[in-house]
Amino acid sequence: MKNYNTLIFTAICLVASQSCKSPQPPAIQKFAAKHVVVIGIDGMSPDGVIKANTPVMDSLMKAGAYTLHARGVLPTSSSPNWASMISGAGPEQHGITANSWEKDEPHMQPIATLNGEIFPTIFAVLRQQKPEAEIGVIYHWDGFGRLFEKDAVNYDVHGETERETAQLAANYIKEKKPDFTFIHYDHVDGAGHGSGHGSPEYYKSVELADSLIGVVVNAVKLAGILDETVIIISSDHGGIGTSHGGETLEEIEIPFIISGKGVKKNYQIAHEVYTYDNAASVAFAFGVQQPYAWIGRAVKSAFEGYENPATFVVKTMLAAPVIKPEKHLFEPAGGLFIDTIPVVEITSEIARAEIRYTLDGSEPDKNSAIYNSQFKVEKTTVVKASVFKGDEKSYASSANFRLLDSKAGNGINFKYYEGENWTMNPNLSMLKPRAKGNAKEFRIQYALHRDEQYALEFDAYLKIDSAGEYRFYTYSDDGSKLYIDDKEVVNNDGSHGAKEKTGDTKLEKGLHKIKVTYFNEGGGQWLEVFYRGPGVPRQIIPTSALYPPK
Digit-coded pLDDT (tens) for 150-195:
999 999 999 999 999 999 999 999 999 999 999 999 999 999 998 9
Where exactly does CATH 3.40.720.10 map onto the chain? 35-302
Please report the pLDDT score of residue 473 as a whole number: 97
The per-type count for the chain, helices as H runs and strands as E runs, is 12, 28
Confidence of residue 85 (pLDDT cuts 50, 70, 90): very high
Evaluate whether the domain defined by 322-404 bears CATH number 3.30.2320.
no
Strands 536-540 and 526-533: antiparallel
Please report the pLDDT score of residue 523 as a whole number: 82
User: How wide is the angle at C-alpha 432 spanned by C-alphas 430 and 438, nearest 5°?
Assistant: 120
Q: How far apart are CA 325 and CA 377, in angstroms?
A: 13
Residue 193, classed as helix, strand or coil, is: helix
| Averaged pLDDT for residues 351-362 | 95
pLDDT at residue 4 greater than cutoff 50: no
Q: How far apart are CA 15 and CA 388, in angstroms?
A: 43
Residue 229, classed as helix, strand or coil, is: strand
Digit-coded pLDDT (tens) for 375-393:
999 999 999 999 999 988 9
Please report the pLDDT score of residue 314 as a whole number: 65
Q: For residue 296, give Cα distances in angstroms to 128, 279, 288.
A: 19, 7, 14
User: How wide is the angle at C-alpha 241 spanned by C-alphas 236 and 247, nearest 5°?
Assistant: 55
Please report the pLDDT score of residue 397 as a whole number: 94
Please report the pLDDT score of residue 327 as a whole number: 83
Q: How far apart are CA 411 and CA 439, in angstroms?
A: 6
Do residues 379 and 348 make contact, with C-beta atoms less than 8 angstroms apart? no
Could you tell me which of 69, 55, 80 has the C-alpha nearest to residue 234? 69
Digit-coded pLDDT (tens) for 35-84:
999 999 999 999 999 999 999 999 999 999 999 999 999 999 999 999 99
Where exactly does CATH 2.60.40 map onto the chain? 322-404
| Averaged pLDDT for residues 278-303 | 97
Confidence of residue 13 (pLDDT cuts 50, 70, 90): very low
pLDDT at residue 28 greater than cutoff 60: no
Please report the pLDDT score of residue 205 as a whole number: 98
Tell me the CATH number for domain 35-302: 3.40.720.10
Where exactly does CATH 3.90.182.10 map onto the chain? 412-547
Please report the pLDDT score of residue 7 as a whole number: 37
User: How wide is the angle at C-alpha 539 spanned by C-alphas 200 and 426, nearest 5°?
Assistant: 80
**Residue 542: how many CA atoms within 13 Å on its side-chain side?**
25
Please report the pLDDT score of residue 498 as a whole number: 84
Confidence of residue 30 (pLDDT cuts 50, 70, 90): low
CA 99 to chain centre: 15
pLDDT at residue 10 greater than cutoff 80: no
Do residues 359 and 537 make contact, with C-beta atoms less than 8 angstroms apart? no
Could you tell me which of 75, 78, 73, 83 has the C-alpha nearest to residue 44? 78
Q: For residue 393, give Cα distances in angstroms to 50, 319, 389.
A: 21, 9, 6
Q: Is 342 exposed, middle or buried (0-12, 13-18, 19+ CB in 10 A)?
A: buried
Confidence of residue 241 (pLDDT cuts 50, 70, 90): confident
Q: For residue 105, give Cα distances in angstroms to 52, 79, 93.
A: 39, 14, 16
pLDDT at residue 304 greater than cutoff 80: yes
Strands 135-139 and 526-533: unpaired
pLDDT at residue 218 greater than cutoff 90: yes
Q: How far apart are CA 240 and CA 476, in angstroms?
A: 12
pLDDT at residue 311 greater than cutoff 90: no
Sequence-separated (6 or more) residues with CB below 8 Å from residue 44? 188, 206, 209, 235, 238, 254, 255
Question: How does the average pLDDT of the chain come out, rounded?
Answer: 92
Q: How far apart are CA 155 and CA 131, in angstroms?
A: 15
> What is the DSSP track for 107-173?
SS--S--SSSSSPPPHHHHHHHH-TT--EEEEESSGGGGGSS-GGG-SEEEE-SSHHHHHHHHHHHH
Q: What class does CATH assign to 412-547? A: alpha beta
Question: Poorest-confidence range of 99-103, 197-201, 516-520?
Answer: 99-103
Please report the pLDDT score of residue 312 as a whole number: 82
Digit-coded pLDDT (tens) for 449-501:
999 999 999 999 999 999 999 999 999 999 999 999 999 999 999 998 888 99
Phi, psi of 400 (to 5 degrees): -105, 110
Helix (H) or strand (E) holding 488: strand 487-492
